[in-house]
Amino acid sequence: MRGLKAPPRSSPYSFQGLGEEGLRILATAREETGLPVVTEAIDAESVDLVERYADAIQIGARNMQNFSLLKRAGRAKKPVLLKRGLAATLEEFLMSAEYVLSEGNYDVILCERGVRTFSDFSRNTLDLAVVPAVKQISHLPILVDPSHGTGRRDKVAPMSRGAAAVGADGVIVEVHHDPDRALSDGPQSITPDAFGALVRELRQITQVLGK
């Protein structure tokens, strides 16, 4: 279960999240549903707060090379979900993970969420080729985020299927009961019914692959 949206946002006028109140809401939701919570820490100081409420700490794409934040996350007692930067090479991505690992936290999960290219039909270009590349040279698990990777609702399902086919360990998908009225990320959010159908499709693909 993802956190309630928090900074950094592309626009200072976008919804900036609920802060600690949002974290308390997520903790309550976890108690009622049993779902673990991952939410973003935006600086070294906020790691304490996220660590207190969440089950995993997310380092967002814009902070992938925030080395003081990475070191602090490396001293945390919670798993770290590290998103690939907007223009990061594979080596830079893995070296950022090493900053966390070098501080003693070995529970690091990578996440491909798209890189900036000349594409004009999606927000970013989702680099599915990075998944087998990571598998070849690293022991770390890697997720794919087709929601942020494309920014478009109609592309979430096909790119999720592609992620499963190339061996991703999971996907992160934005879900909202009324995407057109969502405070953030509505254009890339799918409905619960669409999410249920997608999960069934992904299970079929992973079964074929023996996963």
122 and 96 assigned to the same domain: no
pLDDT band for position 21 (50/70/90)? confident
209 token code pair: 């692959």
37 and 47 assigned to the same domain: yes
Domain limit, last residue, from 111, 139, 161: 111
Question: How much of the chain, in percent, has pLDDT values that exceed 90?
Answer: 82
Q: Would the pLDDT of 4 be above 70?
A: no
7 and 44 assigned to the same domain: yes
User: Which strand (E) or helix (H) includes residue 101?
Assistant: helix 90-102
In this structure, the number of other CB atoms found within 10 A of the CB of residue 105 comes to: 21
Residue 80 to residues 46, 64, 99, 128, 141: CA-CA distances in angstroms?
14, 12, 11, 21, 11
pLDDT tens figures, 86-102: 999 999 999 999 999 99
Q: Concatenated DSSP letters for 103-152? A: TT---EEEEE--B--S-SSSSSB--TTHHHHHHHH--S-EEE-HHHHH--
146 and 62 assigned to the same domain: no
138 and 85 assigned to the same domain: no
128 and 177 assigned to the same domain: yes
111 token code pair: 């996440």
Domain limit, last residue, from 66, 90, 111: 111
Structural domain containing residue 126: 113-211
Least confident of 18-27, 92-101, 109-118: 18-27
145 and 85 assigned to the same domain: no
Give the number of domains in the chain. Answer: 2
Return the CATH number at 201.
Answer: 3.20.20.70
13 and 92 assigned to the same domain: yes
174 and 188 assigned to the same domain: yes
pLDDT band for position 2 (50/70/90)? low
Q: Would the pLDDT of 69 be above 60?
A: yes
In contact, 57 and 41? CB cutoff 8 Å:
yes
164 token code pair: 């499963």
162 and 133 assigned to the same domain: yes
Tell me the average pLDDT across 171-195: 95
Domain limit, last residue, from 83, 111, 139: 111
Q: Would the pLDDT of 126 be above 70?
A: yes
Comparing CA positions, the residue from 73, 72, 70 lying closest to residue 88 is 70
Q: Would the pLDDT of 11 be above 90?
A: no
pTM of structure:
0.90
Q: CA–CA separation, 85 vs 75, rounded Å? A: 21
59 SS3 class: strand
209 SS3 class: coil
Q: Would the pLDDT of 14 be above 60?
A: no
Q: Would the pLDDT of 195 be above 60?
A: yes
173 and 69 assigned to the same domain: no
Q: Would the pLDDT of 9 be above 70?
A: no
101 and 177 assigned to the same domain: no
Q: CA–CA separation, 153 vs 170, rounded Å? A: 18
Q: Would the pLDDT of 60 be above 80?
A: yes
